[in-house]
Amino acid sequence: MFVTPLWPAGVAGRSLSSLSTRKRSHRSIKVQESGYGPELCVLALRVVEELQAKGHPNILATHSMTFEITKDHGLSRRGNCVVAVEATKCLVDLSAEFRRLCRNDETRIIVELEAAGVAESIRGRGSPALTFNHIREIVGRKSNFVSDRTLMIRADKAACDINRALVRELKSPTTRVQVRIIAEL
């Protein structure tokens, strides 16, 4: 596994004993001595993105194949995949490290939504086909379909699978939604 582009500055060339867990801002790299040599030492790469969003009275969260977080302020009742509006970030705003890590079939992507003390996690996968080009929307998909709106594929949940107690909270325009998006390899 080639991980050099993802190492934080100052880590390359250091001894393994000095690297047990390295944290820098929103990323962490865990390294453990394996006894088999340095080529088998990397256990995990992880990049975390955080954003805030809001609820909206028209949130239905009934779509069976996708969920969406949008920067848009308004929402019609036709947008049945939307779970949050007025997001502070969209796909183009995610860090280069995060995007690079997600462009791997083996990367696990986790979206954590929390509002009014109710939380939900959605797990999916990355893909080399992900572009992260959309300027307004973040979409998770149960299928393998990729567009410029896609954050993850093969998600274990769509909007209709989200905890209904959370969906009730998301229907309030005063609800603040905390979103964490985690990419792990």
Q: Let me know whether 165 and 108 are in one domain.
A: yes
Q: For position 15, what pLDDT does the model report?
A: 36
Are 90 and 155 in a shared domain? yes
Q: How many domains does the chain have?
A: 2
Residues above pLDDT 70, as percent of the chain: 77
Model confidence at 13, pLDDT cuts 50, 70, 90, reads very low
Query: Over the stretch 39-49, which tens digit does the pLDDT of each residue have?
Result: 555 557 999 99
Mean pLDDT of 62-86: 96
Q: Report the SS3 class of residue 39.
A: helix
Q: Are residues 36 and 56 in the same domain?
A: no
Task: Tell me, yes or no, whether 57 and 92 share the same domain.
Answer: yes
| Same domain (yes/no): 66, 53 | yes
* CA–CA separation, 44 and 6 (whole Å): 11
Residues 14-56 have pLDDT tens digits of 433 333 333 333 444 444 444 555 555 555 799 999 999 999 9
Residues 55 and 38 in one domain: no
Residues of the domain holding 17: 4-46
pLDDT for residue 79 is more than 80: yes
Structure tokens at 174: 């005063």
- 3-state percent helix, strand, coil for the chain, nearest multiple of 5: 15, 35, 50
Same domain, 23 and 53: no
